[in-house]
Structure 1
Amino acid sequence: MSKISNLLEIMMIIQYKGLTTASELAQSLGVDKKTVYRYINSLSKANIPIYTKKGRYGGFYIDKNFYMKSANLSEKELDALLMASEVLTRQNGFVYERELKNAVYKIKSVSLNSNVDLKDMNDTGNFSIDSIGSMENLEDKISQINYSMSKGRSLNIDYFSVNKNNLTMRKVDPYDLIFKQGNWYVVGYCHMKDSVEIFKLDRIKNLKISSDVYMRPHTFSLKDYLDDHWGLFTGDKIRVTIKFSRNISQFIKSIKWNADQHVDELENGNIILSFYVDDVDEVKRWVMGFGKDAEILEPEKLRRNMKLELEELCKKY
């Protein structure tokens, strides 16, 4: 990531979190603490009012009267940008696809008067708008999450699942609040999935601080977690979901197939294995080795490719 992008992210993180340490910034940006101090020095030289609070509970903070001016785009103007980011792709010969998406995300993140969610083009080719997690209450969400982390209180959230296209109620123990690729995320333990998950703030419909107390594990490292799950932010990795029959479920569960795999057990003894990969070709060959005991659920493209290959095999036999 460029220095300019890192400087913008530092400004946003400090402005919204209120107080943050060099270690937290270093982990979030993936740089060392010396680099963070150089960035802070650069911002100070540019007359950005960033100050340092000394002591055990100190860190960097920004003058409350300072704010990043909104892009002040109309809904139609933002629609046009969002649509362009979906239409202009590498497949269409546009080599700056990722840079365009990042720019649009950052414009959206400071357009707090917008209700537009970054949703994909729908099946009819029309761009859809959904105010699942309106950016209007972004500051309120960040404030509540920061408070829950400072007091060690769990969160109850209604979270929009893109894969299932519905809202699910989750109980989350928030570990970190981070800003990546132009969007805000909370990283924390999800009680429903019994694992550490990443939740995008603009997919949170409702959020409430509970009275349940939690402690962040001392073994949890944000840097290590982000290293293993970087594809979730960059979009480089592909989510793969496979259903295995109960005949081989114990075997599948006993092996670590992927660094960020997740296993869901079904009532009939079958299991759902999900993980993220850079390329699906090896996955197809691996799944075929399990025969009828494995079924690819997503991505749809991989499922179709598997179907075509099986049809070719049927013709041969």
Structure 2
Amino acid sequence: MPSQILLTVIFFALTYGAPVDPLASNLAGKVVDISGEYPIVYDFSQLDLVLGVKDPIGELEMASLAGVNKEPTVERTDSGTYQILYKTNNINDLKKPKYAHLAEDKNNAFYFVDTGSSMYYDDREGQWVEIQKKDKSAAPKLKEVPYSIPVSACIDSRYGSGGSVTNQYSISISMSNSAGIGASINFMALPLGLSLTIATKVANSLSISGSYTCNIGPKQYGQLSISPKMVEVPALTRKGYYFDKMDGFVASNSKLSELAKFKILSLYPPTHYCMVDTTPKKLQCAAARGETKFFEY
């Protein structure tokens, strides 16, 4: 099944980690490091601190920021924002009495440092699922969503002398499926742990907001548009487990399976474009009025 990105366009006018109680109720969407003597909580945005390594994508393709008044805000809005991800040294850490109860909460997810793998509970399969990169050296690849998404109405300068136009925008993007992975994994539960497994921040839905200036010449139509970023995730392996209070996580009878590479939305800033032409036919004037569309790639 081809991937689909649901785009809803909405226009409008316009710390470091600290010790924390791992039982606290305000940890939704956080990463809690329980690998040391004391638990430490991090925001999802502090991924480099959590892993102790840099995002492999780095700043190679941060964004085309010419005309951007300030760096856009990109935030996760998927179900992972309600999930707590616990970082431990290995799967056996969860046998410790003080942490064993964490595996009894199926809303939790885990990241294991020694194997670079993550684990989440799959409601459809009724078991915990561990995922890790098939090739440890394989790196994620940052790409643009192959569509120019309008974030402004068309601007008519046919009878003017041109000039610059500034527009503030907000857009929500959701990925409903990705490269057939829906048949293989619980897609909605995946992004939080996957972000640590591939060391770059991903989501299956997000919001983007920013401000952009577009220069339009005389006798031209202009429109502001963006192309969000997505990540091509390298091939993964997955293995099923069940949790036993005495033995911890125990491998189920399911075989180790492989998951082919797939695409998922990235939290890197989008590329911005100033689309200009002498005719509105080549622009997406109607699409900029809050319509909802499915795009496939």
Q: Calculate the TM-score normalised by the size of structure 2.
A: 0.27
Structure number with the higher helix fraction is 1
Structure number with the higher strand fraction is 2
